[in-house]
Amino acid sequence: MSAVRDNRPRSRVGTDQVESWFVRVNDPDAPRAVWVRATVLTRANGTSVAEAWCSLFDGRRTAALRHQVPLDEASFDSGGPGLDIGVGPLAMHLAEDRVSVRGELGRDAGRVAWDLTLERGPGATGAPMSLLPSARLVDAPFPKNKLLTPFPVGAAAGSLTWGTEAWDLGGWVGMQGHNWGSAHSPEYAWGQCVFPGADAVVEAASGRIELGTRTSPLFSMLVVRRGDEEHRFDRIVDLWRQRPVLDFPRWELTMRGAAGAARLEMTADPAAMVCLGYDNPARARSYCLNSKTARVRLSVAPRHGAPFELLSEHGGALEFLRPDQVPEVQPVV
C-alpha cells in the first residue's frame, strides 16, 4: 500500500459524491486534541463546494469552525510527489511519509491558527491501513462508503493558537485518513486510537448502507496492530460473528473470526464533543457527534499467542453519525 495512492482524489464534478481528507493529533498526557479536515461535496446538478474544518478538544472546552468556498476556488493537485490541497485558509500537503497542515479559522477570541506536521510512525504500525478485507473493494461498488488510513500512526510537531492560548504540538501522536462515497452512511460509529508507549493502534467501524428504500443491518470491521503483528476482523457480512452496540455516547464492538476474538469499548463525554453538520449531495443533512478524547479499552484474544489488553483514558477518536442531533452536544456548525 502507498499513502500517495491512498490519498488520490476520487470525486468527479457532475456526480453526487462526498470526499474528505483529515488529520488528528492528540496530546498523550492530557485530554487535548486537534482535528483538521478538507472536504469536497459534488452534486450531479453541478453545484459543488469545498470546505475547511477545524475542531478543538480540551477537556470540557471545545470549538468547531468551518469555511466553505465554491469548488472551483479550491485546489487539489496530485501532479507532484503527493497531494496538495488548498481550501480557503487551509493548506494541506500529503506525501508518502509526511503530512503538513497549516491554516487559520475564526477571529478575535475564537481565532484558531495552526501549523503542524505528522511524520509516519516507524515499523508495521505506521504502514498504510485499510479496514477492507481486499484492495479490490476500494474501487468496487460495495461497500458504498470507503475509508483508507494512509497514516495510522504518526509523530506530530508544530504549534497551534486558540485565542490567547498557545499549544506546543511536539510529542503529540496522530493519524491521517481519507474517505469518500456517494453520500454519508445512514448511520455509523467509527473509532481509532493510537496507544503511545505500546506500539499499537486500533481502528474500527460499524455502519449501515442503503438498500433501496431501506437500510442494512450494522456491518462491522476492526483491525489491531501491535508491534509487527496485525489482527484483522474484516469479514464485512459475517454478521453472526459481530456484535456492535451503538448506545451514544458509548460504542461496544465484539468481533470473532480467524484471528481470534476482540472487544472494543469506546466512551465519550457529551460535554466534550462537537456536533458537525455533514451535508449530503441528494438527501438531508446528517449529524456527526464527534469526540477526539474518548476513553478506549481494547481486549484481544488471538488465535495464536497470548491475550492482551490496551487502555487509553483520553486518546480515542470516536464518531457517531446519525440523522438527528442530541441536546447534550455543542450545536452544529
Which has more pLDDT, 314 or 81? 314
Examine residue 192 and state whether it is found in any structural domain, yes or no.
Answer: yes
CA dist list (Å): 289 to 85, 180, 201, 248: 25, 19, 22, 9
Residue 257 has a CB neighbour count (10 Å cut-off) of: 17
Examine residue 258 and state whether it is found in any structural domain, yes or no.
Answer: yes
Examine residue 328 and state whether it is found in any structural domain, yes or no.
Answer: no
Q: How far apart are CA 112 and CA 226, in angstroms?
A: 35
Expressed in percent and rounded to 5, the helix, strand and coil fractions of the chain are 5, 60, 35
CATH number for the domain harbouring residue 148 = 2.40.370.10
CA dist list (Å): 210 to 34, 98, 188, 226: 32, 36, 12, 34
Give how many domains the chain has, as a whole number.
Answer: 1
Examine residue 25 and state whether it is found in any structural domain, yes or no.
Answer: yes
**Domain that residue 318 falls in:** 3-322
Examine residue 134 and state whether it is found in any structural domain, yes or no.
Answer: yes
C-alpha cell belonging to residue 79: 501532479
- pLDDT at position 239 is 86
**Stated length of the chain:** 333
Examine residue 332 and state whether it is found in any structural domain, yes or no.
Answer: no
Examine residue 52 and state whether it is found in any structural domain, yes or no.
Answer: yes
Q: Give the model's confidence band at 248: pLDDT under 50 very low, under 70 low, under 90 confident, else very high.
A: very high
- pLDDT at position 60 is 78
Cβ proximity of 15 and 38 under 8 Å: no
Nearest in space to 178 (alpha carbons), one of 282, 251, 83: 83
pLDDT tens, position by position, 19-58: 999 999 999 999 999 999 999 999 999 899 999 999 999 9
b/e map of 5-14 (b: 16 or more CB within 10 Å)? Answer: ebbeeebeee
Examine residue 331 and state whether it is found in any structural domain, yes or no.
Answer: no
Average pLDDT over residues 126-148: 88
